[in-house]
Amino acid sequence: MPNLHEIENAMPVAPLKIVALSSAAKLGEHVNKYLVEFRKTIKNDKVKMDPAFHGYSENNYLVDISTPRFGSGEGKAVFNESVRGKDLFILVDVCNHSITYKMNGFINHMSPDDHYQDLKRVIAACTGKAHRINVIMPFMYESRQHKRTGRESLDCAFMLQELRDMGISNFITFDAHDPRVQNAIPLNGFDNFTPPYQFIKALLNSEEDLIVDKDHLLVISPDEGALDRAIYFATVLGVDTGMFYKRRDYSTIVNGKNPIVAHEFLGDNVDGKDIIIIDDMISSGGSMIDTAKQLKKMNARRVFICCTFGLFTEGLKAFDEAYEKGYFDKVVTTDLNYLPPELYSKPYFIEADMSKFVASLIDFMNHDASLSNVLTTADKIHGIVDAYNSRRNMDIYE
């Protein structure tokens, strides 16, 4: 855990508790495990001996909570233990479609709207009792509806304002589609984190023969919206970057979107190079597969797809077929959102574990310590790349 001295010399805001909704139960368990380890090893005797902070080091920080539903489909949130005076961190995954509930005899899969309503119920059940309420929503609800281009709603901005009015203190998300939406709540805490370190760590642990330099590796943005991510990633790794421009047909609308006519490439020669495509999400995956296909046609050596959120809204069949045809080599996604169980058996899948990072965020926020201590720095990425290159060079000469 980075910069432990920051915590060892600080007092927590209040006793820590984690509320992991059913949508984020798996992530919550992993985060809780790391927090238990952190608190048992930290040398903060000032806190451990202070009776005001009894419970600083616990075997479990998860709150016993349920969100049952009536036969009509209506629901409620019930805390089965006291959270008065606690510093609450609520974990929710609005994209977890695997959870079902019965309504009028029918089985319904929970939608992002359902998960968001459950989140509000939880906040309503503890507002005025908890010392502070913090929401960790890795995939930001309605983040793709962050701006108005016609007579339409501004759902993401409204969501943030609604949570602010309900009394939350901090909102934490990952790889927001457009982080400028935080302007909707300028006086509230809003933190947006990206996982470049976890991406490169997962990729280097999986591949034994990557050469990280500008002659052998190229970072590609699949569209203009992801260019900032690609530029940062490429700059830290010391390699070149490129971009695909999505040419759309703005005269028609299909499924609420203007269909893509073609992907035009802007960038350096990819012949014989390994390619990392980096983006915030895989939705249906159609444009990502098309991008990978074009790169292979341009004689790219290998294509690695790195996305924060693997939604796979149309299943894995298209990816299975594309992998068999050799359009890409690996898909790296985080564990921040629900992933279909069958994905773990795919030969092309690599999971980037974010639970330790989330646990570090929670621990530092609970102590009101600067979050710059846990942010990914260029030095940290350089360190893991240098260690990989040293290990690889030893393997070559042995």
**Residue-wise pLDDT tens digits, 21-53:** 999 999 999 999 999 998 888 765 665 666 656
* pLDDT surpassing 60 at residue 227: yes
Indicate the pLDDT class of residue 315, thresholds 50, 70 and 90.
Answer: very high
- Out of 84-93, 225-234, 366-375, pick the least confident: 366-375
Contact between 310 and 331 under an 8 Å Cβ cutoff? The reply is yes
> In the predicted model, is pLDDT for residue 62 greater than 70?
yes
Of residues 10 and 135, more confidence is placed in 135
Whether 327 shows a pLDDT value over 60: the answer reads: yes
What's the CA gap between 297 and 240, in Å, rounded? 19
Return the percentage of the chain with pLDDT > 70, whole number: 90
Q: State the pLDDT confidence band at 333, using cuts at 50, 70 and 90.
A: very high
| Rounded average pLDDT over 373-392 | 79
Spell out the SS3 assignment of 79-135. ECCCCCCCEEEEECCCCCCCCEEEECCEEEECCHHHHHHHHHHHHHHHCCCCCEEEE
Average pLDDT of the chain is 88
Task: Look at residue 69 and tell me whether its pLDDT is greater than 90.
Answer: yes
pLDDT at 396 over 50: no
- The mean pLDDT of 306-315, rounded to a whole number, is 94
For position 44, what pLDDT does the model report? 58
Q: Is the pLDDT of residue 20 over 70?
A: yes
Long-range contacts of the stretch 384-389 (C-beta < 8 A, 24+): 384/197, 384/200, 384/201, 384/204, 385/200, 385/204, 385/212, 385/237, 388/204, 388/210, 388/212, 389/212
- What pTM did the predictor assign? 0.90
* Better pLDDT: 372 or 328: 328
Least confident of 20-29, 73-82, 270-279, 385-394: 385-394
Mean pLDDT on 6-16: 80
Single-letter residue type at 145? Q
Looking at mean pLDDT, say which of 14-18, 88-92, 240-244 comes out highest.
Answer: 88-92
Residue 2 has pLDDT above 70, yes or no: no
Three-state helix/strand/coil letters over the chain? CCCHHHHHCCCCCCCEEEEECHHHHHHHHHHHHHHHHHHHHCCCHHHHCCHHHCCCCCCCCECCEECCECCCCCECCEECCCCCCCEEEEECCCCCCCCEEEECCEEEECCHHHHHHHHHHHHHHHCCCCCEEEEECCCCCCCCCCCCCCCCCCHHHHHHHHHHHCCCCEEEEECCCCHHHHHHCCCCEEEEECCHHHHHHHHHHHCCCCCCCCCCEEEEECCHHHHHHHHHHHHHHCCEEEEEEEEECCCCCECCECCEEEEEEECCCCCCCEEEEEEEEECCCHHHHHHHHHHHHCCCCEEEEEEEEECCCCCCHHHHHHHHCCCCCEEEEECCCCCCHHHHHCCCEEEECCHHHHHHHHHHHHCCCCHHHCCCCHHHHHHHHHHHHHHHHHHHHC
Per-residue tokens: 154: 């501004």
The pLDDT value given to residue 223? 81
- Would you say residue 6 has pLDDT above 90? no
What pLDDT does residue 393 have? 60
pLDDT of residue 398: 42
165-212 confidence digits (pLDDT tens): 999 999 999 999 888 999 999 999 999 999 989 999 999 999 988 989
pLDDT at 309 over 80: yes
Q: How far is CA 344 from CA 113, 128, 335, 355, in A?
A: 27, 42, 11, 17
pLDDT for residue 15 is more than 50: yes
Over 70: is that where the pLDDT of 310 sits?
yes
In this predicted model, what pLDDT tens digit does every residue of 120-158 receive, in sequence order? 999 999 988 999 999 999 999 999 888 888 888 999 999
